[in-house]
């Protein structure tokens, strides 16, 4: 029987205003919530993160110790990973949802993680909406205007609250009170792929595996040896 692999689960991590559902204004966050930025770093460090080009430009750099995957048709982003061996930072350009997922899946497997993150913006959340299993949601109690939104609704029939906590405005860098929640889909959708097909249905994928993830090459080689009949 052909071996199958369960691919990493897809999660969203997003901060929006309440009740306006704003996530951005002129490609910037409308608020400064220092504790939420720390929480974002804690949750995503070490993982693959997928973002749109505008989100990448808003951040201004590849986030450290993460596989940064930018979905963009522009060739101005690097086609090859930029790897900093001291902190595990990687930067990839993907020209489609499918390519972004392939890169995120492979880097997650190599790093030993079963969860990957979509971090924005509005178009990316919409693209991956049918695949998301978990949402790390920060709701900022603020009425600032915006031009980008995350309007997803979470009904108790489809979603359950795993964790929820309110935080007051404070003098340490939180401009507004906010609520942090972790929501999990009741009927989670897991993605599976036949191992041989996943790694070899396109020659570019095999070459990418063998030649591009230099820092993780020994683990990739071992995975191929254990799972493929080459």
Tokens coding 30: 């409308």
Output the CATH code of domain 4-195.
Answer: 3.40.430.10
Q: Give the global pTM.
A: 0.82
**Is residue 2 within 8 Å of 195, Cβ to Cβ?**
yes
The per-residue pLDDT string of the chain (230 residues; one tens digit each, 9 = 90 and over) reads 456 778 899 999 999 999 999 999 999 999 989 999 999 999 999 999 999 999 999 999 999 999 999 998 776 664 444 444 446 888 888 888 888 998 899 889 888 899 999 999 999 999 999 999 999 999 999 998 999 999 999 999 999 999 999 999 986 778 899 999 999 999 988 877 655 555 555 555 545 555 544 455 555 555 444 444 33
Distance separating alpha carbons of residues 107 and 207, to the nearest angstrom: 15
pLDDT value of position 5:
73
Domain boundaries, the chain: 4-195
d(CA 184, CA 188): 8
Q: Where are the alpha helices (DSSP H) in the chain?
A: 34-44, 53-59, 97-111, 122-127, 195-200, 203-211, 217-227
The confidence score (pLDDT) of residue 84 equals: 46
How much is the CA Rg of the chain, to the nearest whole Å?
A: 18
Q: How far, in Å, CA of 104 to CA of 49, rounded?
A: 7
């Amino acid at each position: 029987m052909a071996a199958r692999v369960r691919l990493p689960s897809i999660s969203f991590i997003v901060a929006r205003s309440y009740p306006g559902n704003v996530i951005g204004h002129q490609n910037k966050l409308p608020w400064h919530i220092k504790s939420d930025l720390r929480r974002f770093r804690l949750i995503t460090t070490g993982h693959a993160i997928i973002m749109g080009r505008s989100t990448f430009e808003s951040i201004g750099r590849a986030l450290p110790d993460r596989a940064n995957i930018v979905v963009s048709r522009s060739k101005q982003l690097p086609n090859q990973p930029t790897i900093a061996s001291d902190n595990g930072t990687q930067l990839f350009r993907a020209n489609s949802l499918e390519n972004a997922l392939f890169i995120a899946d492979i880097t997650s497997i190599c790093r030993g993680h079963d969860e990957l993150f979509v971090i924005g913006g509005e178009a990316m959340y919409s693209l991956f909406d049918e695949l998301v299993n978990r949402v790390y949601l920060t709701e900022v109690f603020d009425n600032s205007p915006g031009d980008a939104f995350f309007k997803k609704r979470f009904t108790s029939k489809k979603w359950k609250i795993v964790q929820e906590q309110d935080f007051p405005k404070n003098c340490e860098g939180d401009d507004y009170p906010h609520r942090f929640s972790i929501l999990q889909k009741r009927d989670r959708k897991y993605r599976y792929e036949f191992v041989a097909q996943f790694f070899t249905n396109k020659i570019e994928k095999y070459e990418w595996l063998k030649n591009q993830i230099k820092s993780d090459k020994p683990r990739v080689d071992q995975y191929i040896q254990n799972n493929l009949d080459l």
